[in-house]
Amino acid sequence: MTIEELRTKGWIILECISGSRAYGLNTPTSDTDIKGVFLLPKEEYYGLNYIPQIANETNDIVFYEFNRFMELLSVNNPNILELLNTPEESIIYKNPVFEELKSEYFLSKLCSKTFGKFALSQIKKAKGLKKKIVNPVAKERKNILHFCYVNHEQGSISLLKYLELKNWKQENCGLVNIPHMQNVFGLYHSEKKIYKGIMKNENANEISLSSIPKEEKQEALFFFNKDGYSSYCKEYREYWDWVEKRNESRYENTQNHGKNYDAKNMMHVFRLLEMAIEIAKEEKVNVKRPNREFLLKIKSGEFDYDYLLNLANEKQKELETAFEISTLSEKPDLKKINKLTFEIREKLYEKRI
């Protein structure tokens, strides 16, 4: 089933503009995100073809099946609580049954964890981008030779430096295991090319071992930093995957403001923390943000990362205190929500008969 089929067959029961436009944080370059709720036809809901969510290719249009929507509300998912409380001016269509869904049926002290956890994930994303920008990984991939060392004089040097000093090629070297010494090998050399070399090819992930005649002289002890090589491979893969998939406009904005972190992620940190504090104190979800100017300053990179991190820590403490004294229930009433889910679904099906 596609979004177009949901529209043409009339299975959409809630459709809203979401994201920055709903928060009141949109700028001239902001996209228009859509979120909503749909009802599966009876034969698919009761059959084996249950579909919890339908989205377009770019994921900026997302619809949740009614039961999935109610399930996420029952665990105080921030995105879904926002959807339920979308400001009137951002609602495209809302079936009258949604008047029966009151925020007070769902809001609980779980919001302290869900909003806080979501905010923490945004901090990690911002910090992850900071790390990638400050520590770029060269496009030319290192091979295992860059992670090998040999003993030399009274210390050790890199294998590449050692080969350069000796004027040797890795193809003319041989390695043999040394008992009881993990990742340490005996290094041999011969111009006759009787050995397998240190690695088979540039893309090898393991060193090669050779059969060494007993009369051959060991040239040095050889160490392969396998853990270091594995960490590098992971970092290389993650960095260039990020480069390939990154949002170029957000990346350029980060480069322009020069603070080396994803300012949009940091803006959402404060939006989420402040919304959670309001839930604890006011027992309602305020989607449209009252401090647009401050949040957009964060987005434009006017503050240093460390300053925002300290400020976020203060907000986190305020959030914890607010929920400690809040009169909200510990968790939503699942029995009531389950009954409401059944009754509304039945009502929606009856109207289509």
Question: Rounded to whole angstroms, how far apart are CA atoms 148 and 118?
Answer: 41
**What pLDDT, on the 0 to 100 scale, is given for residue 257?**
46
pTM for the predicted model, two decimal places: 0.65
Q: Which CATH number fits domain 1-106+332-353: 3.30.460, 3.20.20, 3.40.50, 3.40.390?
A: 3.30.460
3-state SS class at 141: coil
Phi, psi of 136 (to 5 degrees): -65, 150
Tell me the per-residue pLDDT of 49-90, one tens digit each, with 9 for 90 and over: 899 999 998 889 999 999 999 999 999 999 999 999 999 999
| Amino acid at the residue 225 | N
Contact indicator for 277, 290 with CB cutoff of 8 Å: no
Neighbours of 25 (CB within 10 A): 20
Question: Rounded to whole angstroms, how far apart are CA atoms 222 and 174?
Answer: 10
Exposed e or buried b per residue across 304-322, where buried means at least 16 C-beta atoms within 10 angstroms of its C-beta = ebeebbebbeebbebbeeb
**Structure tokens belonging to residue 342:** 């059944």
**What pLDDT, on the 0 to 100 scale, is given for residue 252?**
45
- Check residue 88 and report its DSSP letter: G
**What pLDDT, on the 0 to 100 scale, is given for residue 241?**
76
- Check residue 46 and report its DSSP letter: T
Q: What percent of the chain has pLDDT over 90?
A: 67
Tell me the per-residue pLDDT of 292-322, one tens digit each, with 9 for 90 and over: 999 999 988 888 888 888 898 899 999 999 9
Tell me the per-residue pLDDT of 237-296, one tens digit each, with 9 for 90 and over: 877 776 666 554 444 444 444 445 678 888 999 999 999 999 999 999 999 999 999 999
Helical axes 66-74 vs 334-352, angle rounded to 10°: 160
> Per-domain residue ranges for the chain?
1-106+332-353, 107-136+247-329, 144-230
**Structure tokens belonging to residue 239:** 């960095």
Lowest mean pLDDT among 60-69, 89-98, 192-201: 192-201
The CB-based long-range contact list for 288-297 (8 Å cut-off, 24+ gap) reads 288/22, 288/23, 288/24, 288/87, 289/23, 289/24, 289/25, 292/24, 292/25, 294/270, 295/25, 295/267, 295/270, 295/271, 296/25, 296/27, 296/267
Which has the higher per-residue pLDDT, 291 or 154?
A: 291
* pLDDT (average), residues 343-350: 94
